[in-house]
Structure 1
Amino acid sequence: MLDFLADNPLIALVVILALGLALGKIRLLGISLGAAAVLFVALGLATVNPEIQIPALIYQLGLAMFVYVIGLSAGPLFFREFRTRGWKITLFVLLLLVGLALLAMLLIRGLDLAATTGVGMFTGALSSTPGMAAVVEMLTQLNPDIASEPVVGYSLAYPGAVIGSILVAALGAKLLKVNHHADAEAEGLITAPLVWKGVKLRPGLSGKVGDLPRFSGQQIIATRIVIDAHAHKLADPGLPITEGMELVINGTAEAVAAAIAELGEERHIGLDDTDLVYSRFTVSNPEIVGRRVEDLDTVGHGFMIARIRQGDSEEVPRGDTVINYSDRIRVIAAPGRMAEVRRFMGDSEKKLGDVDLLPFALGLSLGLLLGAIPIPLPGGVTLSLGFGGGPIVMGLILGALKRSGPVTWQLPFHANRTISTLGLTLFLAGVGTSAGAGFRQALTDPFSLVYLGGGLLITLTSALVCGLVGRSLFKLRWDEAMGVAAGTTTNPAVLTYLNGQTGTELASRGYATAYPAAMIGKILVAQMLYLLLV
């Protein structure tokens, strides 16, 4: 059977995916590996029969797809936070890489390891395929006879890079009694349920309806102005407010209560039997995707947006809130205008299912082209961002832009998640099989275990430092600190484990913040490490 899989790489790929995804659903002591289990199935099969190999093109494409859509999702938050703590985390990651390279140098010199294999161990411990490839390319120019040696060290250390990071994340969460949901909620990634209440404005307020969130200091939105028990009209943000005006406001229970205390007094207002009704629609119209709420002129189209549900989180909109594919929009409008609102939003599951992949292909192409640009270094050596670094950088940029003219870069929510999982599993299957031969050697050559142990020490040090410094210096939640650790190792398997285990986006936020600097930094540091060793 194993020989059959070796002769049929396509069948081997599908079998690895099926077995890995099935194994990933099994929970042991409350922990499941999720899609990361694909790596271990691939590694196990290739260890038994090293001839089982997935073509490099497959897993290169998988990694590019995975990191590109991660960039699309994280782009807006990445650039928004870079001005505050993002740049600090970036600087920390670069300093950490230098420190880990010094640790690797001590291990290589102290244990009398070969420089080439030792540098490969360093890149494997940090899951840096581009870093390893850069060293191989440099050696090809300097000494072709030893150019393949870093691959051995990389293969020996890579499995420990996954296991070590997951162990630190899992044990840390247990010891610290981490409440994943509460931490994400405290960071604003999970919003509390939204409510609505009536308010009668107190004397002394002047301005416009759109100023009420600023007056109250709360994230609320006024959706209706009450004329009488049966007559309501849309709360146009441009309308002047008057003393005694009664409105319906939406927000979290805490925000609404605080807003009412600041703006006036609560009023009981019925929404039944009025000339305004509410309904929910799904955004599928590409003309409004990527645009801000304040640019849509919703009142001019006869409706108000009361709430926006993106993924599993629901929030009241601000003027700068950007509309995405698959958003569920709760609107207030006259009954006779709901058909018009539906056309405006799209509300078509078929259109969301028939994903326009042209923008995805264009963005991914730009990312791969960016990754292929050679960057010259002293000594005639060049490096590049590669098929991992280029796509995530481009994804971050295009994700922040949302759209460029008629081109909408964002993907529907479900398509984004599907492409992300598919790309990741393809990458893990390919990397797992490529590491099988080295892992098999470790089982037969006792000295190979030194490389495996050295790589594991580097991985554990990286994850522990990220956890300790992230919590103490940057005040990160544990899950986000572990996301930084996964981003520092640029390891999609660890991120997938974290996302599956926590059920929140905290790890992804830390991952996207650390990834670009780590990807580029490891390419440079790995080459510098070799030059210092020889």
Structure 2
Amino acid sequence: MGGWITDLFQNTPEIALFTALALGYAFGKVPFGPIRLGGVCGTLLVALVIGYLTGAQLDDGVKNLAFALFIFALGFSSGPQFFANLNRKGLRYLGFPIIEVVSVIGVVLVFTVLLGLDQGTAAGLMAGGATESAALGTASEAIGRLGLSADETTELQNNVATAYTVSYLCGLITIVLLTSQIAPRIMRFDLREESAKLWQKMSGGRERADGETPALPDLVGRAYRVEQSDGRSVDNIHASLNGHSTVEEVRRGDQTVKRPDPGFRVRTGDLLVLVGRRAALVGAESVIGPEQAEEPDTVLQSLDVVLTHRGTDHLPLESLGEVLGADLREAVFIRRLTRTEQEIPALPKTRLHTGDVLTVVGAPADVRAVEKKLGYPVVSQKTTDFVYLGLGLVLGILVGQIVIPIGGADLTLGTGGGALLSGLVFGYLRARRPTFGSLHPAAAGTMKDLGLATFIAAVGMSAGPSAWQLVQHYGVMLPVAAVLTTLIPASISLFVGRRLMRIEPPLLIGAVAGQQCSTPAISQVVSTAGNTVPVIAYTITYAISNILLPLTGPIIVALAGAVV
């Protein structure tokens, strides 16, 4: 590379960093058949090239800060879902992340012995084969605590990054093809057909294709002129309708009564504005009077609500009305359901988890009432509580410094493990008591993505100069080991889920993609399935694996050192 670019990148490493981010994320969007590498892998590849050609380096302080922010935000976002699934009802899917962790460690140790892998290469094989970027950081940090010389530590940490790059590419291709194409053929089921059947079973109706909306919306507003209900109370009118609805407004001459009391009595000539399920308002003319074409002031409001009510954990969506009560269960509509930043089908049989985000639509008064009953609104988190954030990071890093001597080894979580644990606890406490510690999901997502991308770029630039030597040393055996590191745990889970647990095929495929923490895999699975049913299981195993897999970084470093 030209001398002036080398000088620029070496003297101004921040330019090298953002160049790696820009080019890496652009490259990550390029499709290779059904596969896209994604921004993280793209950034690592570009950073390796920049490091190899220019020798540009980022300060270790920048790398450590970026990783601490990423791992804390990861724990904070996953905390509510992680703890929500650690119960008897979540045991159905808890086994998949455990199979992933145990199998990945076992496979990597076998290859460590067969190929004579050093601790860095073994850790990179594990992180890449499991397609878990966070394990790359915890493993590199664990190597830094081995007490080796600076040159030995740098060499092993560089090997982590290089082995991770090769293994991640092979692992990503393997898990995408296995879940979306190979597994359905081997296990003899049509993923699209099975997903359609499960959707119908959970919803009781036909699934809608992308871009389709119901011609007859479920939640509607109607205006009626009172002729038949003179002298009747609002509560009596509600009882006469086919289902529940709410009288949001009564106009009487120049006067307007908003959300009248149940005992309020209407008169002939009043204009009543009702909001509720369409089925409840069919036939309302025979109860109240003729429908009017007037445009009242009443509006519908949409609000994202984080679910914190304990009584809703693992409750089917169709039973949410038991918590809302008779006044609200037919007056609002759940338009969208999001879990761990993934939208899942808001179907009657879908089970809710603490930390889910419900998009609630209804009259403003009804939406506010639902918010108070179920949790707290996402829109209220307009600022970040840096007191809470800073305290969480300080406590996490301090916990990571604690060393517990066990035999001849020192056990410690390190900065990564400590920040992850702290993020889990602080995110869980925030979900339970939303009066403090606000961190908007978008802010947490940016902190997580930018922190990981910066850390990956720093690791890649550091490993660039020595990457080619490691690839030459192991040759084709490293990609083979990577494919098997991904394939074996996933295959075990497919067998256990299909033959022993009898899990529905779409949910099983989603669970396997989730245990691998592979967003590209679930994206391709959803495309093949034709609907988002597999995401229901994906979010459960993803939340647990996202916490367990990073903790395997220090474990594989210790075990690889013991068997070599």
Scaled to the shorter chain, the TM-score interval is 0.5 to 0.7
Task: Give ranges in structure 2 of 5+ residues lacking alignment.
Answer: 185-189, 209-213, 222-234, 263-273, 286-290, 313-322
CA distance in structure 2 between the partners assigned to 1:107 and 1:188 by the alignment: 44
Aligned pair 1:429/2:457, yes or no? yes
1:154 matched residue in structure 2: 160
Residue 394 of structure 1 is aligned with which of 422, 428, 447?
A: 422
Aligned to 2:269: none
Displacement of 1:18: 1.1
Whether 2:222 is the aligned partner of 1:195: answer no
Give the alignment's TM-score, normalised by structure 1. 0.66
Structure 2 equivalent of residue 520 of structure 1: 551
In structure 2, the partner of 1:48 is 53
8 Å contact kept, 2:397–2:415: yes
Of 454, 463, 488, the residue aligned with 1:461 is 488
* 1:160–1:456 CA contact under 8 A, matched in 2: no
1:399-439 deviations in whole A, cap 9, x for unaligned? 33335767434533433333333233223322332332342
1:306 shift after superposition: 1.6
Alpha-carbon deviations, 1:366-402, whole Å to 9, x = none?
Answer: 4444444334332142221532x33443333333333
CA distance in 1 between counterparts of 2:479 and 2:353 reads 48
In the alignment, which residue of structure 2 is the partner of 1:331? 363
The offset of 1:291, in angstroms, is: 6.3
- In the alignment, the residues of structure 1 paired with residue 378 and residue 105 of structure 2 have an alpha-carbon distance, to the nearest angstrom, of 52
Q: Report the equivalent of 2:288.
A: none
**Structure 1 residue 39 and structure 2 residue 44: aligned?**
yes
Distance in structure 2 (CA, Å) of the matches to 1:75 and 1:347:
18
Q: Is the 8 A contact 1:124 1:155 kept in 2?
A: no
Q: Tell me the amino acid that sits aligned with residue 524 of structure 1.
A: I
Asked whether the equivalents of residues 245 and 275 of structure 2 are also in contact (C-alpha less than 8 Å), the reply is: yes
Amino acid at match of 2:459: V
Is residue 136 from structure 1 mapped to residue 168 from structure 2 by the alignment? no
Residues 234, 332 of structure 1: 8 Å contact kept: no
**How far apart are 1:10 and its partner, in Å?**
0.5
For 1:306, give the aligned amino acid: V
Match of 1:279 among 300, 318, 321: 300
SS in 2 for 1:277: coil
- Secondary structure of the residue aligned to 1:224 is strand
State the match for 2:172 in structure 1: 166
AA in 2 matched with 1:106 = V
1:225-247 deviations in Å (ceiling 9; x for gaps): 6999999996999xxxxxxxxx9
**RMSD over aligned Cα atoms:** 5.4
* Candidates 326, 330, 333, aligned match of 1:307: 333
Question: What are the superposed Cα offsets for residues 11-46 of structure 1, whole Å, 9 maximum, x if unpaired?
Answer: 111111111222233334243333232222222322
Q: How does 1:170-181 map to 2 (within 5 A)?
A: 170-172=176-178, 173-175=180-182, 176=184
> In the TM superposition, what are the counterparts of 1:477-492 in structure 2 within 5 Å?
477-486=508-517
1:250-265, aligned counterparts within 5 Å? Answer: 250=277
Which residue type is aligned with residue 485 of structure 2? I
Residue identity in the other structure for 1:437: P
Q: SS of the counterpart of 1:381?
A: strand
Q: Residue in 2 aligned with 1:78? A: 82
Residues 82 and 543, structure 2, Cα contact 8 Å, conserved in 1: yes
d(CA) in 2 for partners of 1:279 and 1:28?
44
> Structure 1 residues 117 and 6 mapped into 2: Cα distance closer, same or farther (>3 Å)?
same
Matched with 1:412 is 440
Structure 2 CA distance, aligned partners of 1:360 and 1:102?
37
1:374–1:382 contact (8 Å) kept in structure 2: yes
TM-score (norm 2): 0.63
Deviations 1:491-513 (CA, angstroms, capped at 9, x unpaired): xxx44775698597654542221
Give the count of matched residue pairs. 465
Amino acid at match of 2:513: M
SS at match of 1:307: strand
CA contact (8 A) 2:20 2:457 kept: yes
Deviation, 1:83, is: 1.3
Give structure 1 stretches of 5+ with no counterpart. Answer: 199-208, 213-220, 238-246, 487-493
Q: Tell me the distance in 1 between the aligned counterparts of 2:191 and 2:484.
A: 25
Whole-angstrom distance in 2 between the partners of 1:188 and 1:114: 48
Superposition deviation, residue 224 in structure 1: 1.8
Could you report, residue by residue, the CA deviation over 1:42-71 in whole angstroms, capped at 9, with x for unpaired residues? 22322334x223334334433443443344
- Cα shift at 1:313: 7.2
CA displacement, residues 424-471 of structure 1 (integer Å, 9 cap, x when unaligned): 32233223323323422135x444654555345424434444555456
C-alpha separation in 2, matches of 1:48 and 1:140: 30
Distance 1:147 1:52, change over 3 A: closer
- Give the Cα–Cα distance (whole angstroms) in 2 for the partners of residues 518 and 509 of structure 1: 14
8 A Cα contact 1:9 1:52, kept in partner: yes
Q: How has the CA–CA distance of structure 1 residues 249 and 228 changed in structure 2, closer, same or farther, with 3 Å as cutoff?
A: same
Change (3 A) 1:420 1:133: closer
Distance 2:493 2:300 in 1: 45
**1:501/1:11 CA distance change after superposition, 3 Å:** farther
For 2:406 and 2:171, the matched residues in 1 are separated by 32
> Do structure 1's residue 57 and structure 2's residue 61 form an aligned pair?
yes
CA 1:456–1:72 in structure 2 vs 1: closer, same or farther (change >3 Å)? Answer: same
CA distance in 1, matches of 2:475, 2:554: 24
What is the alpha-carbon distance in structure 2 between the residues aligned to residue 460 and residue 226 of structure 1? 57
User: 1:376 is paired with a residue of what secondary structure?
Assistant: strand
Q: Does the 8 Å CA contact 2:48/2:461 hold for their aligned counterparts? A: yes
